[in-house]
Structure 1
Amino acid sequence: MKVTSIAAAPTRRLFSIAALGAAGALALSGCGSSGTSSTPAPAPAQESKNLAEGGSSTITLWADNARVKVLKDVAAKFQAETGIEVKLVGKDTVREDFITQVPTGRGPDLIVGAHDWLGQLVQNGVVAPVELGDKGKLFEDSAMKAMTYKGSVYGVPFAIENIGLVRNTALASEPAETFDEVIANGKKAVAEGRASYPFLVGLDPKQGDPYHLYPLQTSFGAPVFGTGEDGGYDASKLTLANAGGIEFAKKLKAWGDTGEKILNSNITADIAKEKFLKGESPYLLTGPWNVPDFQKAGINVAIDPLPTAGSEPAQPFIGVNGFFISSKSQNSLAATEFAVNYLTTESVQDALFSSGGRPPALKASFEKAATDPVVAAFGKIGANGVPMPALPEMDAVWADWGGTELALIKGQGDPEAAWKTMADNIQKKIAK
């Protein structure tokens, strides 16, 4: 049994979250796909007898507590129509326990997780491919790409997430196309006494935040990995320290504590949210999970496209949440039936969106959700994003990457030398 150490997740991971390899570091098709397809009905009742006869009287699903509540109705429906009970178990350490327990036979039949777990799950042999057939066409292309690892689909997607630039329209009336414009608008609001900070993004006090800063980095043409012949990420092609990466490193220091103070090493994600709620900045780089609180506070917000800092598009990571089936499930027929014919339904995907607020992966559900301009805006931004790498090698990347970013933001070291040292250290870890 292989068990790869699980690195500290980037700070976006409030949904595992942390914070969705996935096939393709290419620009993804839009979340707002046109055209709908009717969601297939659950499998005919006559199949239930076969499931029960196969000994599949119970299946177990691990998820976070919020999603356990949402899935109670579909679990009851499944039991009523098939005779198979679905035990829903709330857990905080789904991935770690799944990897450890599946090989011993004590793990669940299904879990809720993020697509970028796939490399580690596949490496440890604990997750099974899932055959969606024509149902795959009912989901956003970006979600299906993220759930694909080395040519096989491993998950039933239900939510897509990415960050955007949240703007307080009372402090900045018009969207900005470039990060320089964002800085200028923010400084103007501060100079006029209407704000205290020109721009906010939360940083972990020990790890920085490569996830939230990634759009600025990609705008300099410095993705974390290059791609292979199949279009998927290639761990042998670490591209962090190319010429664009060096330029980005220099900007981190220039924007940081000893420079323009656009990035503040003392502002965590919670502090950034609090200050934005108090109207202390026109901008916050964040995801859809925070927007409801801003709206409840009476702040008129707009979700702007991510501003370019360099000459390339600003591409955020996208994350996809989904359901995965254990490779060692003793109830694989029932688990597959539940995942493929029940968790793919419009009613389930609608309910998961209502609970979590992240754009649905099912096209029909997304189109309904996108009547909300906030959902539509995040979906449009995500259409230009790239999947979070699902490669196991990502565990060797986060600590050095985030720590180096944080040091530069604090004004420590020479940017070019520090960035190259970071890349060298990561390369050595990947090679082990």
Structure 2
Amino acid sequence: MRRRGAIALAAAAALGLTACGGPTEEEQSSELEWDAESQQYVIEEDIASGKVPLKVWFEEEYLAEAAIAAFEEEFKEQYPDIEIEYELVTKNDAVEKMSLAGEAGNGADVYMSLYDQVARAIDDGTAAPLGEYTGVLQGRMSEAATSVVSVEDQMYAVPVTTESLALIYNDTLLQELTGSDQPATTWEEIKALAATYNDPAANRWTLRMSTAEIYRAYPILSSMGWKVYPDSDVDDPGFDDPALTAALDYYGGLRDIYDVPSADSTWETIEEGFAKGETPYVITGPWSFSLFDEGAAANGFEYGVTTLPGVEGGGTAGSFAGMHVAVVSGYSEYPAAARVFANFLASDTGAAAVYGATGQIPAVNADLLAGIEGIEDDPHVAGIVAQSANAELIPQVPQYFWETGNTMVIDVWDDLSDAAAAQEKAVTTYNELHGL
């Protein structure tokens, strides 16, 4: 088997509703042979013989290499001659790129994307139904995971990994500062430590977090009683909820903990700052574990992962769950092979390869998750899993939700307007964009 890597970038995606553009489901499924005993489609001869390579898109080279190697090993007796090529394409850009490349005949057979882009992919015809694998996957993962990538009784993407923000803490530093390595459970506790530990002149902060995204602000806003899309209705994101006014007021008040303009709360200042061992707390996700592992080893500290802090007297801090998915292109000329590869990423072997390469949490049921070597003994994963219980897979929402929400929290954090004015602006902007 051979592999080739390349870099590709494209524009971002929008919301879609119904399939068009690619081959129909009937055209895709009519020639597929299902092996009931192995619960697999039979791969087309051109792919099985190595005459034509299967083309896949990944965002990360290390994941591509690990997944392909595991697939080779799994199928080496049945399909020893398969060749797999990969190209590096960012998940957020993949649907848009496929909408052009697929029709031109030079797209991938399988590509990685984000769960909230699947509706657009269905609309573009760049997501094909998974056919018989729908039942297989429904038996391996939660209804919450499968339902958000389904239309009626068909799944259109394979959930591969799930993730959530969490509170990550330097327990070595906390022990030195407070006499305890136990993390805070409320923002009030973090405020109390910040009053003595913060040193703006030295750029020393008790907590670092991105303050330019509603994705990052939502745990605080939700702890204060605000729920986004309360009726799962794209017409109503909940921006006019009175609970949001008080929540935004509280959010703006946290500027005392991390007195940095939103534009300066960048990845470098947050994740890299924590990795130096000088920041007790950071809010981020499992994608930062490899950097933190390196920083902990280099700077002599240990870190832990736990649920996000709540507001004292408030509710549980909810977060937006993320889910990375594998999509079979509706334009693939080898729909059986493409489905076999996509499904493999959520198999026992595939999930283990994904976890081993990335440290990210496979989107399978808890009992299957427990069977992956090393995962039960990984305290960092345990913290993400604990927060994931409070996380929400929100509806597939339009891009302007994020743009409007981001502007709202930036306006409050940077004191460009008060909470009520920022909220009113968000309502007006969302309604105008939604009406276009």
Partner Cα distance (1:234, 1:151) in 2:
21
After TM superposition, the structure 1 = structure 2 runs for residues 21-420 of structure 1, keeping only pairs within 5 Å, are 47-48=42-43, 57-64=52-59, 65-77=61-73, 78=75, 81-82=78-79, 84-92=82-90, 93-130=93-130, 131-148=133-150, 152-172=154-174, 173-190=181-198, 196-203=204-211, 208-227=212-231, 233-256=232-255, 261=258, 264-265=261-262, 266-296=264-294, 297=296, 298-309=300-311, 311-340=314-343, 342-363=344-365, 366-367=369-370, 368=372, 369-391=375-397, 393=398, 395-420=399-424
> Which amino acid is 2:195 matched to?
K
Partners of 1:189 and 1:282 within 8 A in 2:
no
SS in 1 for 2:172: coil
Which residue identity does 1:81 align to in structure 2? Q
Greater shift after overlay, 359-368 or 278-287? 359-368
TM-score, with structure 1 as normaliser: 0.78
Q: Report the CA distance shift for 1:79/1:98 in structure 2 as closer, same or farther (over 3 A).
A: farther
**1:375 alignment partner AA:** V
Task: Find the aligned partners of 1:419 and 1:352 in 2 and give their Cα distance.
Answer: 40
Q: Which residue of 2 is the match for residue 13 of structure 1?
A: none
Aligned-residue CA RMSD (Å): 3.3
Q: Percent identity, aligned pairs only? A: 21
Greater shift after overlay, 75-84 or 419-428?
75-84
Q: Indicate how the Cα distance of structure 1 residues 180 and 238 shifts in structure 2: closer, same or farther if over 3 A, else same.
A: same
**Contact between 2:128 and 2:156, CA under 8 Å: does it hold in 1?**
yes
Q: How big is the shift at 1:91?
A: 2.5
Distance 1:267 1:337 in 2: 42
- Structure 1 stretches lacking a partner, 5+ long: 9-20, 22-39, 228-232
Q: How many matched pairs? A: 383
Change (3 A) 1:194 1:381: farther
Return the TM-score normalized by structure 2.
0.78
Output the amino acid matched with 2:156.
Y
For 2:235, what is the secondary structure of its paired residue?
strand
Deviations 1:305-348, CA, capped at 9 Å, x for gaps? 111137232111111112111122221122223333x3332122
* 2: CA distance, partners of 1:236 / 1:48: 43
The 1:276–1:149 alpha-carbon spacing in structure 2 relative to 1, beyond 3 Å, is farther
Which amino acid in 1 is paired with 2:186? T
Deviation at 1:58, TM superposition (A): 4.1
Q: For structure 1, which segment, 83-92 or 212-221, has the greater mean C-alpha deviation from structure 2 after superposition?
A: 83-92
Residue 425 of structure 1 and its aligned partner are, at CA, apart by 0.3
> Does the residue aligned with 1:272 lie in a helix, a strand or coil?
helix
Determine the C-alpha separation between the residues in 2 that align with 1:48 and 1:189.
Answer: 60
d(CA) in 2 for partners of 1:214, 1:286? 13
Higher mean C-alpha deviation, range 114-123 or range 137-146: 137-146
